[in-house]
A and B are shown apart, each in its own frame.
Chain A
Amino acid sequence: MADSFWDRHGLYGVMAEFAEPEELLAAAEKAYGFGYRKMDAYTPLPIEGLSDAIGFTRTFVSTFVLIGGSLGCMGGFGLLYWITKIAYAHNVAGRPFNSWPAYIPVTFECTVLLASLTAVIGMFALNGLPQPYHPVFNNPEFSARASIDRFFLCIEATDPSFDLVKTKAFLAEQNPLEVAEIEK
C-alpha cells in the first residue's frame, strides 16, 4: 500500500494529445476496451459517441430531476388541497372544496420549478463545479489548445489497471501528437 502510494504520489495521470476528433474517439474506445475506466476526454467541441466510448453512459441528473419534479407536483397539489379543503374551506361559486381542475396550473408550475432547480443544482453537485484548480491544466499544451483545436485523452493514475510505463506505451500506440505525464 505504502509502496504503491509512493509510486503514484504526485502523478495525476497520463495524457495523450490528438489532432483529429476521430483519433480521440478511436483511442478512447481502445482504452475502454483495454480495461481503463478512470479516464476523461477533453475536446473543444461536442463529439458524437465520445461519452459512450469512455464509458460515461449515464448521469444521475435525470433521476434528480424526476424526483424534484415529482416532489414539486405533489407539493403544488398538496398546497392547494390543504388551502382550499382544510385550512380555508370556503364555498366558491358552489364548487366542491376539492376542485382539482383549478389546481392544475399551480401544480404544473411547481413541477417545472422544482424540476429545473434540481437540474441546475444537481448538475453543479455532480460535475464538481466550480473548481478553481484542476491538474490537467499543468500540461502547458493542454492549457493553450484544449479549447481551440486539440483533442485530449487522460487516463488517470487512480485507475486500477494504471501502470505508468504500460499506460504511456499504450497511449503512444494510438497515434498521438504527444504523450505527457500530468502532475497532481
Chain B
Amino acid sequence: MTLAEQFKRIQRMAAIVGVLGLALCLIELFVDRAQFFQSYLFAFIFWNGLTVGSLAVYLLHNVVGGNWGAVIRRFVEAGARTLPLTFVLLLPILLFGIPLIYSWAQPEAAHDANIQFKSPYLNIPGFIMRAVVYFLIWGFYTYRLTRLSDAQDRTGDPMIQERMRRLSTFGLLIFVLTATFAFIDWIMSLEPHWYSTIYGAMFLVGQMLETLAFCIILLVLFSKRKPFVQVLNYQHFHDLGNLMLAFTMLWAYTSLSQFLIIWAGNLPEEIPWYIRRFTGGWGYLGWFIGVFHFCVPFVILLMRFVKKNPNLLYKVAIYMFFVRFIDIFWIVEPALRQRRFYVHWMDIVAPIGVGGVWIAFFLWQLSSRPLLPLHDARLGYLPLETEAAELT
C-alpha cells in the first residue's frame, strides 16, 4: 500500500471515529447539558492545545532555527493549519455553552461584587469577540507563514527563510500575548475569583510539550518512509528528546512557581484553586502528575541512550502525550466538579470524538503538501562538510 493510500485510510478511520464519538456525545446533550459542555471543553482544550502548540513551536523554530525543526516543520505547519477546524469546534461553546460552564455568566454572579468588578472583561459578547480576534491573529500568521513556506518549496529562494524569521519574531510576541489571554478566557475564568500571572506561560509550555511529543510520535512512525529515511539521523531524535526534556523541566518550573507562591501566601482568593485540586480524590491525580509528569520523564530523558534511540523515544513521547491529557483534565475539571472526583463517560468519549475529527483534518492538511520542505537548507546538515568548508 502506498503512503497516500495509507493516509486516506487512516484519515477515513479517524473521521468515522470522530463523527461517531461526537454523535454519541449528543446523547448527553439531552441528558445533562452542563455535563456535556464540561467534558466538551476539556476535549476542546486538549486538542486545540496541539493546534496552538504547533503554531508556537513553528514560530519558535522560525526564529531560532535548528535542524530539529526542519524535519518536523510540515507536522507543525499542518497542526497550525487545523485552526479553522478548532474554531468550528469552539463555536458550540461560544454560542450555547458559556452560561452553562462559566460561573461569571450565570445569574448568581450578579450578586458577587468581585465578579461584578471584573464584568467589563468577563462578559459574553467580550468573550466571543476576543475568541474571534485570537483566531484571526493566529490564522493570519499561520496563513502568511505557510504561504511563504509553499513559495520556498516552489522557488527555493533562500531569502524566504529570512522573511519567515522576521515575520515570526514579532509574531511570537503577539502570539504569546494572545495565547495567554485565550487561556485566561477559556480556562482560568472557570474560577473567576482566582488569578495567576504565570498561568499563560504554564499552559503554553504544557501545550508545546504536548506538540513536541506528538511530533516525535509522527516522526518515528515516518522515519522508515521515503522522504524521511534519507535525512533523519539519531541527532534529530537526540535534539527533539532534549527539547522534550527542556519543556518538561520548564513545565515543572512554571507549575511549581505558581504553586509555591500561592502556597506560601495562603490567601483566601488564591488558595482555593489548589484546595479544589487536592481534596475529594483530586489530590491523588495531583500527586500522580507531580511524580509521573515530572520526576519519571525527567529521569528517563536525562539518559542519552533513550534520546538517541527512536524506538525508546517513541514510547516516552506516547507516555508524555498521555500524561499531558491527565494534566489538562486535572487543571480544567476540578473547577466544575465541586470538590468531588469522578470521571464521566463523556470525559473519555468527547476527547476521542474531537480527536478523531482533529486527526482527520490534520492528516488532510499534512498530505496536501510535501512531507518535508523541499528547499530547507537545514535539512542537508552534514557537520563535516559545513565546518570544513568554513575553515578554508
**Which A positions have Cβ atoms within 8 angstroms of B?**
21-22, 44-48, 62, 93, 101-102, 104-105, 149
Contact = CB atoms under 8 A, between A and B. Distances in A.
A108 B392 CA distance: 45
A7 to B, nearest CB: 38
Given A104-B256, A104-B260, A105-B260, A45 B266 contact: no
Contacts of A22: 384
A102 B383 CA distance: 46
B326 to A, nearest CB: 21
B185 to A, nearest CB: 29
B387 A102 contact: no
Main secondary structure of the interface of B (DSSP, over half): helix
B173 interface: no
Contacts of B383: 46-48
Interface string B355-372: 000000000000000000
Nearest to A102: B264
A21 B388 contact: yes
B87 interface: no
A173 B5 CA distance: 52
A183 B392 CA distance: 31
Nearest to B253: A108
12 contacts: A44-B391, A45-B387, A45-B388, A46-B383, A47-B383, A48-B384, A93-B266, A102-B264, A104-B256, A104-B260, A149-B391, A149-B392
B140 interface: no
Interface string B256-268: 1001100110100
A93 B384 CA distance: 61
Interface in B337-388: 383-384, 387-388
B239 to A, nearest CB: 14
Contacts of B260: 101-102, 104-105
Contacts of B392: 149
A104 B263 CA distance: 13
Interface string B232-253: 0000000000000000000000
A48 B382 CA distance: 9
Interface string B263-277: 110100000000000
A21 B382 CA distance: 13
Nearest to B233: A48
Contacts of A48: 383-384
